[in-house]
Amino acid sequence: MSSIFALLPKPRLLTDEFFAQSAPKAEGGAGALADSMLSTFKEVMGEVNRQQFHAEDMTRAFAAGDVQDVHDVALAINKAKFALDFTVRVRDRMLEAYRELSMMR
């Protein structure tokens, strides 16, 4: 009997290659600040990614009968959801600030 999880697409890990492709290099004095922000963003995204995988693992373990406490599964899922929602909100605010700054030029 095949698992329903086999039908779902496999999530991919966020790696340094992903960030290197998506982040332009900053120049001048702003370069250090941009690198610092990018480094912080990488750490945060890595943690959000780990929480997403942990929630998925807990869900699979619960479905397989390996985890008996549904509270732990629900907690892992809600933590991952909250982390992702918060990260999306921060991203949206950063994009909004970037647009406002680009209009000032």
Question: Which band of pLDDT confidence, cut at 50, 70 and 90, is reported for residue 35?
Answer: confident
Taking alpha carbons only, the member of 7, 23, 24 closest to residue 15 is: 23
Q: Which residue has the tokens 């479905």?
A: 63
Place of tokens 């992903």: 18
- Please tell me the predicted confidence (pLDDT) of residue 34: 72
When the pLDDT of each residue in the chain is averaged and rounded to a whole number, the result is: 80
Alpha-carbon separation of residue 70 from 48, 76, 81 (angstroms): 21, 10, 16
- Number of Cβ within a 10 Å radius of residue 38: 16
For the ranges 14-18, 23-27, 78-82, 96-100, the maximum mean pLDDT occurs at: 78-82
Per-domain residue ranges of the chain: 41-105
pLDDT confidence of residue 63: 93
Q: Is the pTM of this model over 0.75?
A: no
